[in-house]
Chain A
C-alpha cells in the first residue's frame, strides 16, 4: 500500500515555485468555470441576442434604443456580457466559495493570497475577452462592417477596462457584504439598476438630466466608451468622461473590495 504517511515527513520542505502554484490555481479555476456551462452560455448568448434583436431593427425611428447606431448596440451587448460575467458571476462565485470554506482551505497552503485572487480575476477577464471576440465578429457580420485590427485592439482594451470595472464593483460588494445570499440578491438588484440606468438613461428617453447621470454610470460609461472607440474620429468629452468614470470605479471598487474583504464569511 502506497501509504500517504509511510514516507518520512518533509521536515525540510522547499518553497513551491510560484509558477506551479499559479498554474495549478488557474487550471482549477478554468475547469470550474467551464463546468458552469449554463452560466457561460448565458454570458455569451444574451449579448448575441441583444446584438441580433436590436441590431436588425436599426434605423427604426420609433425605437429610441435603435437610434444610437451600431456603436451603441455593440456597446450595449458587450456591456451586458461584461456585467453578467464580471459583476454577477464573479461576486456570486466568490461569496459562495467563501461561505463554503473553499478560500479557508486554500489559504492554509503555501499559495499566496494574491495568487488565489489573481487567478480568479484572470479567469473572468479571459471569459470577457472571449465573449468580446465572439460578439465583435457577429457584430461585423450583422452590420456589414469589417473592423480593422486597430478597432479590434481598442474594443479588447475597452473590454479589459470594463471587465476590471465590474470586477472591482463586484469585489466591493463581496468586501462589504459577508452573506452569500445577500451578495446574490444585491448583485441581481445592482445588475438591473445599472442596466436600466445605463440603457434608458443613455438613450435619452428619461431626459437630459438622467442622460448626464447615466453617462457617468458604469453601464453608460461603457456604452459610450465602446461607441467612442468604434468611431474614434468623433471621440468627444462624453467618451473621455466615460474613460474617467471607468478608471474611477476601478480605483474606488478595488480599494473598498480589498480593504474590507474577509476570506471567511463567519
Chain B
C-alpha cells in the first residue's frame, strides 16, 4: 500500500467519485476528497456549486447516483445508523420543533444519540453555550443567534468523530463566532475532524488545515490555504482579480469567476 493509499484508508471521511443528480441535472460530478483525523477541512464554492449536495450525501440525506462516502470506514449508504452515530451536523436550513423548550430539545437529541443525560447535565451544556437564561424558553421565542448556538450545541452533543458545519458562522455575532472557533479547535484537539462550508475566505484561510474549491459540481483544487495560494498565484485568472498580495479569496474568484451566482 502506498503512503497516499494508507493515508486515505486511515482518513475520517473518504468521499470517492461522488455523483449526485437531480433528474437530469448533475449537481456533483465525480467529487473525490478525504478528511484526515484531527483535520479542519473547508469546502468552498459559489452558490449552487454543489457544496450542500455534497454535504447532504455525506450526511446520508440523499442517495448518490454513483460513488461512495465512508465515515470512519463505514459506508453511509450501507450502514447509515452506525455512520450517523459518528457524525455531528449543523445544517444551514433546518430547525427544531418550535413548541419545545431549549431543555426539551437537548434532551430529545441526546436520546436520539443514545445518551442519557441528567437534568443538571443538560442545564450545564446549555449554560455552556450561553443559553442558561433561556433554558425553559421555547425554540420559537429565542433570537436567531441563540438558535444558531443551540444548533451547534446539538451538533456536538454526541461528541462526534466528524463534525459537518454548513456555513456555521452566518448569523453569529463576533463574540459567538470567536467562541465557535474555540470550540471547533477544542474538538480538533480531542482528535475530532471538521468539514465545513463557508463563504468567508478569511475564516477559511485562518482556521482550515486544507480547503477544497468546488464549482459546477467539480472539485477544482485541494490543498492547504498557503499551498493553494502558492499553486495558483501565477494563474492568469488569479492575477487578473488580485489586488496586491494574492489571497485565498483571489484564488477562489480567479478559479470560479467573478459573476454573481443565484
Contacts and interface: CB of A to CB of B under 8 A. Distances in A.
A11 interface: yes
Contacts of A111: 112
B186 A16 contact: no
Given A16-B85, A101-B95, A108-B84, A5 B186 contact: yes
B231 interface: no
A234 interface: no
Interface in B106-165: 107-116, 124-125, 128-129, 138, 153-154, 156-161
A15 B95 contact: no
Contact of A9 (B82, B84, B91, B192): B192
Contacts of A10: 85-86, 158-161
Interface in A80-138: 97, 100-102, 104-112
A209 interface: no
A33 B159 CA distance: 30
Contacts of A266: 93
Contacts of B33: none
Nearest to A33: B99
Contact of B61 (A31, A104, A112): A104
Given A3-B183, A31-B99, A35-B99, A9 B108 contact: no
A14 interface: yes
A69 to B, nearest CB: 41
Nearest to B186: A5
Contacts of B246: none
B184 interface: yes
A4 interface: yes
Among B81, B112, B156, B192, the most chain A Cβ lie within 10 Å of the Cβ of B112
A105 B91 contact: yes
A106 B114 CA distance: 14
A148 interface: no
Nearest to A35: B99
A16 B87 CA distance: 13
By DSSP majority rule, is chain A's interface helix, strand, loop, or mixed? loop
Interface in A1-49: 1-11, 13-17, 20-21, 23-25, 27-28, 31-32, 35-36
Given A16-B85, A108-B60, A109-B84, A100 B95 contact: yes
Nearest to A3: B186
B108 A105 contact: no
Contacts of A2: 124-125, 128
Nearest to A113: B80
B47 interface: no
Contacts of A24: 107-108, 110-112
A266 B191 CA distance: 35
A1 to B, nearest CB: 6
A4 B191 contact: no
A21 B114 contact: yes
A11 B86 contact: yes
Contacts of B96: 102, 105
B2 to A, nearest CB: 25
B48 to A, nearest CB: 13
Contact of B190 (A6, A31, A97): A6
A7 B114 contact: no
B93 A20 contact: no
Interface in B35-59: 59
B100 A32 contact: yes
A116 B59 CA distance: 17
A116 to B, nearest CB: 9
Given A31-B104, A108-B89, A100 B98 contact: yes
Closest 4 CB pairs of A and B: A16-B114, A24-B111, A9-B192, A101-B94
29 contacts: A4-B156, A5-B156, A5-B186, A5-B192, A7-B190, A9-B159, A10-B158, A13-B82, A13-B158, A15-B114, A16-B112, A16-B115, A24-B108, A25-B108, A25-B112, A32-B97, A35-B138, A36-B99, A100-B98, A101-B91, A101-B93, A104-B61, A105-B91, A105-B96, A108-B60, A110-B82, A110-B114, A112-B81, A263-B61
